[in-house]
Amino acid sequence: MADWSGLPSDLLITIVERLSIPEYFVFSGVCVSWRLASRKAIHLNVRPKPQSPWLMVPGGTEDTASFFSLSDGKLRSIPLPEPKIRSRVCMGSSDGWLVTHDEACEVHLLNPITREQIALPPLSTFYFVEKTASGFLVDDVTFLRDQGTTHYGVDSEGKRRPPMALSLEEMRRYMFQKAVLIVNGSEFTVFLIHEPGSSLSFARAGDKGWTCLISVEAIMDIIHHEGRVYTVTTSGIVEAWDPDGFSSFKRRAIMTLPPHYDAEDFYFKSLVASPAGELMLVLREMGELEGTALTTGFRVVLLDERKLEWTELTDIGEVAIFTGLNRSMCLSSSEFPELRGNCVYFTEGLLDIMDEHDEKRDVGIFDLKERSVVPLESGGPHLRWPPPIWLTPSLS
């Protein structure tokens, strides 16, 4: 039998970039020389080939998470570091990383493949939040006043309501909505959509605290596109956030959803960039089935920032859109043949399910041509809590 352990390391490194991530771990466990070659490949920035998203679902134990792979239809269980993953809520995923908050309201970045973890600034660094022995005091009245809302929390006599006293569990349910990670080499920025008022704040690598931004409306989603940060509000206003020096961003309204789209008809709005670099707005339509609110469809609208025009797309071609708590993304079904083109793959958002743990999940695939929802077979049924989330696995 041939001794494959004696293959030259350069050849082994070339093999690594042709493997999927699961195959990479099998490869690295074959023998000492293959393990050394796999480590050298990572050191040289050689990575396994890109993969289509995995769907993270609750694992079988407190410290494991399960991931359903669209490429091979397998469900994999992965042990993760403390705090226990079952005690955490994933409120975002980008570039292979999850953004989580745990029972102590602590926020982390977590790469479930490498098990690397980075602590983000504590909530007490928000200027309107104070840590107490049993939870937090939240001065939402002052914060919303600073955001431009002057009438909130003030009675007819002009007296303002005192700060809210929230337990740790109440704070978890109140504060967090969605997080988006933006990676630039060894640097990163995490943008957080949070209460009060579905507002926007950010923290960069090494920051000791969160920096709040001023937005005139509640924000629903955020994306980093062609070097700029974009957000969309509840009423369908698309905004650009340009760097304002090193320490902040300046808001600039771009376009508003045309009047013939009633913004209230679309429960959730998300931003996504097509493989061709076009910015699109994805509008989720909801309905009710046996008393449970479920996704019934999507509308996809192309934004032309130069012409200030909207164009609704009924056919997005060989493209699959992934939306939910993840950073919305488009992938080519010709590059990833396991994906269905002209479809939207979706999961819920946190606001849908914080108080509805016993309801079944709202996860599926919407076919834009057929205008129909197809269930996603993802390793068996599970309840909505913890909420499922799309993750693109990465060793970076």
Predicted local distance difference test score (pLDDT) of residue 258 = 79
Residues 40, 95, single domain; the answer is no
Q: Exposed/middle/buried for 18, CB within 10 Å: 0-12, 13-18, 19+?
A: exposed
Is residue 3 domain-resident? no
Q: What is the CATH number of the domain that holds 345?
A: 2.130.10
Q: Could you tell me the residue range of the domain that residue 13 belongs to?
A: 9-49
Is residue 107 domain-resident? yes
Query: Distance between CA 285 and CA 289 in Å, rounded?
Result: 13
Residues 15, 125, single domain; the answer is no
Among 169-183, 218-232, 303-317, 368-382, the range scoring the smallest mean pLDDT is 368-382
The 219-225 sheet, strands edge to edge? 219-225, 228-233, 237-244, 248-256
Residues 241, 94, single domain; the answer is yes
Residues 157, 23, single domain; the answer is no
Residues 218, 229, single domain; the answer is yes
Q: 300 to each of 52, 128, 227, 273, 315, how far by Cα in Å?
A: 21, 37, 23, 11, 9
Residues 302, 327, single domain; the answer is yes
Is residue 2 domain-resident? no
**How does DSSP classify residue 105?**
-
Among 52-61, 168-177, 273-282, the range scoring the smallest mean pLDDT is 52-61
Among 1-10, 151-160, 187-196, the range scoring the smallest mean pLDDT is 1-10
Query: Distance between CA 273 and CA 206 in Å, rounded?
Result: 28
Residues 66, 151, single domain; the answer is yes
Residues 105, 13, single domain; the answer is no
> In which residue are the tokens 């996704």 written?
295
Is residue 1 domain-resident? no
Predicted local distance difference test score (pLDDT) of residue 353 = 47
Is residue 13 domain-resident? yes
Taking residues 189-203, report their average pLDDT: 95
3 against 66, higher pLDDT: 66
Is residue 4 domain-resident? no
Is residue 145 domain-resident? yes
DSSP string for 137-185: EE-HHHHHHHTT--STTB-TTSPBPPPEEEEHHHHHHHHEEEEEEEEET
Among 41-45, 48-52, 219-223, the range scoring the smallest mean pLDDT is 41-45
Residues 37, 67, single domain; the answer is no
Residues 194, 137, single domain; the answer is yes
Is residue 396 domain-resident? no
Taking residues 256-280, report their average pLDDT: 82
Please state, for a pLDDT cut of 70, what percent of the chain lies above it: 79
Q: Is the pLDDT of residue 15 over 70?
A: no
Residues 156, 229, single domain; the answer is yes
pLDDT digits (tens, 9 = 90+) for 208-258: 999 999 887 899 999 988 888 999 998 888 998 987 766 778 888 788 887
Structure confidence at residue 380 as a pLDDT band (50, 70, 90):
low
Question: In one letter, which amino acid is 88?
Answer: R
Residues 20, 97, single domain; the answer is no
pLDDT digits (tens, 9 = 90+) for 326-346: 999 999 998 899 999 999 999
Q: Is the pLDDT of residue 101 over 70?
A: yes
Token pair for residue 339? 């994906």
Q: Is the pLDDT of residue 18 over 80?
A: no
Number of compact structural domains in the chain = 2
Query: Distance between CA 79 and CA 208 in Å, rounded?
Result: 29
Residues 6+ apart with CB under 8 A from 111: 96, 97, 98, 117, 394, 396
Q: Is the pLDDT of residue 3 over 50?
A: no
Residue pair 322/345 in contact (Cβ under 8 Å)? The answer is yes
Among 64-73, 78-87, 350-359, the range scoring the smallest mean pLDDT is 350-359
Query: Distance between CA 315 and CA 337 in Å, rounded?
Result: 18
